[in-house]
Structure 1
């Protein structure tokens, strides 16, 4: 096993490790958002505001379903990271194989179910009649791509579990370029409308997933399976489901609140839908550093828990929050100074009302990026420590907050309440997560202390037996 193939996060300077691991992750996420943003830019520029609303009206339901897929895959990668930290490579390989089996089952079942229910879901969300057909043609193709979503996210998660955050970035850059080329070809040349943007996304992600698979087979000696490791293992399956399903549900439960909020937004008309679409795309781009820090802490915490180094986990949280808080201030300044300018990527300059609304949304959202930083860092750390069920509770907090905003505040305060919905959700999640992390840390310290004491007693008993 060569050093350049894996990276041990249980040793060395914590700040440098977190920064070094998160930067490639950040660039990867930026490229993901980049080609997602390119979809939106091309749709808005070449197909118009109505088409922009068609794509935007599906954002929350897409996040609910695709987010579940991503959460499950991230959860599956945590036992792999823990066994890597513990240097138990045989069990690591069993987890990798069983996670592949579970991912195949989940992806097939989910694709069939959501594709059959797709149109009904859009109807339940109060999607405006003038954008219903376009929204359906877009989201149906995205849902057809669920298997490739599982493929890429599972393999990228496993690669990151080995401390390698650079390789998935390389494949994402390549797929981003493919996505842009296909966007232009499908929308401008072949006149495929918003469905063309969806097909470009699915195909480009399939390419990145296949590249990850080829890379893993050729480069990782610790993934050379023995015959007895290529079997369905009940213990591994249960452990993977225990870690993966709660993380997937956390994304979906959070998204349920977003779906309810989107329903309220849809009721405000196509202009507001288009505004929120553009604003959310920019916000997602600006919030990528928080996602990168969160994913970093999941792997970092997983490896260090496996190595029983809880003090490093705690130090990692502190360093991540410092990094995230500094960036939050920078992002807020950018939103104030360049919000309208960035919005011009999506719409023409003559859309003055829309530009002002997008700027307002960006400024309000960015003002609360520090609470968002805490949400991502603390939640993913808890998940990396093995307590993924906490993610569901945090997701419930966010869901309730967005639901209240959608049902109560939006009808009264309109667009302003839409802008405040996510910040309120983040604060509610923090109110649960921060005490939750303190409780988990204390519990794990006691468990490790008890295990150490038991081991010492066993040694003493063995020594006493030898003396006798």
Structure 2
């Protein structure tokens, strides 16, 4: 049975670590099977196939990011109702989230399948990779109902303080995905399609596991009236969810421009950036996990009107996250080249070119990882406090900075411009979010001075 956690009492550091660690492990397993997709395709099919998966990467994130954003927004209201011990409102928030998610599934699935090929063509996808990229992303998009359902169920569990059940679900999915990857790609010879099918089937298993956990939570014993449509609750859910969705879509818009520039350097460079992106996905997980813990912590304590605990919690989350960020950077700098080689099997000169494209990107991302971690923590804290507008604005800032810098720097510094554009976008968004958080916490709790150095 899912174990819910009240985060309005107890030591913030212990609560945040206790919540974040299972989520971190779950995210790492999720990234693991994403990496296995990449490694199996890169070593089992070849560099062109690896570039095909990479060319579809931002299209995958376009939908996944919007789904995650919407469900994260829904979870804000759920966590606030739980913190306020308003269980009737909690159940209504959950049921309306489910109804809105059902509508979203239809809209997202149809739209995504229609725009996939035109988007790949618009992004100047290399001729050697466009067919494989379209095949891969089309199969992923057909799994949108599963992706949406899993993320909603996981968001509900995390809003109630349970990060362990999604962890277990992700471990199960990862093991299944790895096994199916090897079977479908190397055993059956299904190539790129096999990797995509394995991912969707694994996600289905994690979805079913979370569903069984949610229906066994006592405070979520739904009554008939809980399912009655409530326009006010839906409006509030959309007020919280749509800005987060738009924020992720806008961030992805910048990523698509980056992908366009990357594609222009040829499929070897695309393969190198793809391998580096997968490793960066692993590097980000500690920061996003502690940030998610802080979002739930902030939401519950806002509902309980314990504002000083929010201030104390963000200090702990930032300190822990930044220490981890610099530790990861050291590992990446020391072993990055060796790790990249695991992704590919080809002619030695081709492998060397891919590694040369990937390693500088990894070093730059690693050294600046602490900025991204701070961005995550401030963003989810604001969202947990019910402010989804400023995080959305920060996403727009990321968009313009990422686009402007990648266009300018790639013209001046070539491939290195792609690497530094990402860091510039992080810095701009992080500064805005930091200022917004301290202004908001000072406004909510004006009697105490707020130290801008967390």
TM-score over 0.5 (shorter chain): yes
3-state secondary structure, aligned to 1:287: helix
- 2:32 and 2:332 mapped to 1: Cα distance? 18
- 1:186 and 1:158 mapped to 2: Cα distance? 33
Aligned to 1:128: 126
Are 2:214 and 1:237 equivalent residues in the alignment?
A: no
Aligned to 2:450: none
Match among 337, 342, 365 for residue 339 of structure 2: 342
3-state secondary structure, aligned to 1:232: coil
Alignment of 1:58-457 (within 5 A): 58-218=56-216, 220-348=217-345, 350=348, 351-445=351-445
- 1:120 and 1:315 mapped to 2: Cα distance? 48
- 1:284 and 1:388 mapped to 2: Cα distance? 24
- 1:300 and 1:119 mapped to 2: Cα distance? 41
3-state secondary structure, aligned to 1:387: coil
Between the two proteins, the alignment pairs up a number of residues equal to 444
3-state secondary structure, aligned to 2:215: helix
3-state secondary structure, aligned to 2:10: coil
- 2:180 and 2:411 mapped to 1: Cα distance? 40
- 1:397 and 1:87 mapped to 2: Cα distance? 36
| Structure 2 unaligned residues grouped into runs of 5+ | 448-454
Match among 37, 41, 44 for residue 42 of structure 2: 44
More off after superposition, 88-97 vs 289-298: 289-298
Q: Which of structure 1's runs of 4+ aligned residues deviate more than 2 A? A: 442-447
- 2:245 and 2:44 mapped to 1: Cα distance? 35
* Displacement after TM superposition at 1:357 (Å): 2.6
**Structure of larger gyration radius:** 1
- Maintained 8 Å contact 1:261/1:405: no
| Structure 1 unaligned residues grouped into runs of 5+ | 448-468
* Displacement after TM superposition at 1:289 (Å): 0.2
3-state secondary structure, aligned to 2:14: helix
Deviations 1:199-244 (Å, cap 9, x if unpaired)?
A: 11111111111111111112x1000112211111111100110111
- 2:150 and 2:395 mapped to 1: Cα distance? 24
Deviations 1:390-428 (Å, cap 9, x if unpaired)?
A: 121010111111101232211221111111121111101
3-state secondary structure, aligned to 2:128: helix
- 2:284 and 2:49 mapped to 1: Cα distance? 25
* Displacement after TM superposition at 1:446 (Å): 5.9
- 1:206 and 1:421 mapped to 2: Cα distance? 36
- Maintained 8 Å contact 2:28/2:285: yes
- Maintained 8 Å contact 2:59/2:116: no
Aligned to 1:466: none
- 2:115 and 2:373 mapped to 1: Cα distance? 35
Deviations 1:66-91 (Å, cap 9, x if unpaired)?
A: 10011101111110100000000000
- 2:119 and 2:357 mapped to 1: Cα distance? 28
Deviations 1:150-187 (Å, cap 9, x if unpaired)?
A: 11110001011111111110111001111111111211
TM value normalised by structure 2: 0.96
3-state secondary structure, aligned to 1:129: coil
- 2:355 and 2:126 mapped to 1: Cα distance? 22
3-state secondary structure, aligned to 1:81: helix
- 1:341 and 1:315 mapped to 2: Cα distance? 40
TM value normalised by structure 1: 0.93
- 1:388 and 1:75 mapped to 2: Cα distance? 8
- 2:389 and 2:44 mapped to 1: Cα distance? 44
- 2:225 and 2:104 mapped to 1: Cα distance? 24
